[in-house]
């Protein structure tokens, strides 16, 4: 079977229907407890954390398992086969969710979109650890890149929601919050229209 991060949107949706839209994980349940956490004020030492209000209109929300959102340091320590596996699973998970939201992939938001990325976990993450990097990469258009070591051309799948994740093309806010007791955690990624005039 062709890996999920190497197939077209049409091929994926055909496979998706054949599997009767089975869910890889309970992302709706994750969104529910994430919303509940964000609705509560941060107390104690966590009151020092700064939440950022979104900009524009909401386009899509993703609730992602922690294991599919590794930090930059974690990615560096992964063997190539494991890194590819994470990217494939993350792409499949995000495409399933975007389909349920009724958002059409491969239509980039114009202007200066906004991404809100919140990591919920029992263990505090370092600022700028890059937990959002892999998911934002997948929000970009599909592209090809030559591997500097093997010189082979690699296909990089993407949903095409944003044109680029560079600071001049995407406004982003990332932060960490404690996960509820008894919950391993997860990552909330929201894409907003942002400043459509930029």
Q: Tens digit of pLDDT for each residue in 123-154?
A: 999 888 999 999 999 999 988 878 777 888 87
Query: Do residues 52 and 114 make contact, with C-beta atoms less than 8 angstroms apart?
Result: no
pLDDT, tens digit, 9 for 90 and up, residues 158-176: 999 999 999 999 999 999 9
Instruction: Note the pLDDT of residue 146.
Output: 80
**pLDDT of 16 above 90:** no
Beta strand 185-195 pairing with 112-121: antiparallel
- Judged by average pLDDT, the poorest of 35-49, 72-86, 119-133, 179-193 is 72-86
Nearest Cα to Cα of residue 193 among 83, 52, 58: 58
* Cα three-residue angle 92-117-12, rounded to 5 degrees: 15
Which of residues 31 and 2 earns the better pLDDT score?
A: 31
- Judged by average pLDDT, the poorest of 13-22, 30-39, 84-93, 94-103 is 13-22
Instruction: Note the pLDDT of residue 21.
Output: 43
* Cα three-residue angle 73-137-176, rounded to 5 degrees: 55
Q: What is the distance between the alpha carbons of residues 43 and 54, in angstroms, rounded to a whole number?
A: 21
Question: Both tokens of residue 169?
Answer: 């093309």
**pLDDT of 27 above 90:** yes
Domain 30-39+53-195 has CATH 3.40.50.620: no
Question: Both tokens of residue 161?
Answer: 């929601």
Of all residues in the chain, what percent carry a pLDDT higher than 90? 62
Non-local (6+) Cβ contacts of 29 within 8 A are none
**pLDDT of 23 above 70:** no
Q: Delimit the domains of the chain by residue range.
A: 30-39+53-195
Q: What is the distance between the alpha carbons of residues 90 and 73, in angstroms, rounded to a whole number?
A: 18
Non-local (6+) Cβ contacts of 139 within 8 A are 94, 115, 158, 159, 160, 161, 162, 165, 189, 191
Which of residues 79 and 149 earns the better pLDDT score?
A: 79
């Amino acid at each position: 079977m062709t890996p999920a991060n190497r197939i077209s949107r049409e091929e994926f949706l055909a496979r998706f229907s054949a599997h009767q839209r089975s869910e890889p994980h309970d992302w709706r349940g994750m969104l529910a407890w994430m919303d509940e956490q964000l609705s509560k004020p941060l107390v104690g030492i966590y009151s020092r954390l700064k939440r950022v209000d979104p900009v524009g209109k909401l386009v899509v929300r993703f609730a992602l398992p922690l294991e599919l959102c590794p930090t930059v340091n974690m990615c560096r320590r992964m063997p190539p086969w494991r890194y590819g596996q994470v990217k494939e699973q993350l792409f499949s998970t995000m495409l399933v969710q975007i389909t349920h939201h009724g958002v059409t992939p491969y239509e980039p938001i114009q202007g200066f979109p906004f991404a809100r990325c919140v990591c919920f976990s029992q263990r505090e993450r370092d600022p700028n650890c890059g937990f959002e990097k892999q998911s934002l990469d997948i929000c970009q258009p599909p592209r090809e890149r030559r591997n500097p070591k093997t010189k082979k051309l690699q296909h990089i799948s993407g949903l095409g929601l944003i044109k680029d994740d560079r600071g001049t093309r995407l406004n982003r806010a990332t932060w960490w919050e404690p996960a509820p007791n008894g919950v391993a955690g997860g990552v909330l990624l929201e894409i907003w229209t942002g400043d459509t005039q930029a």
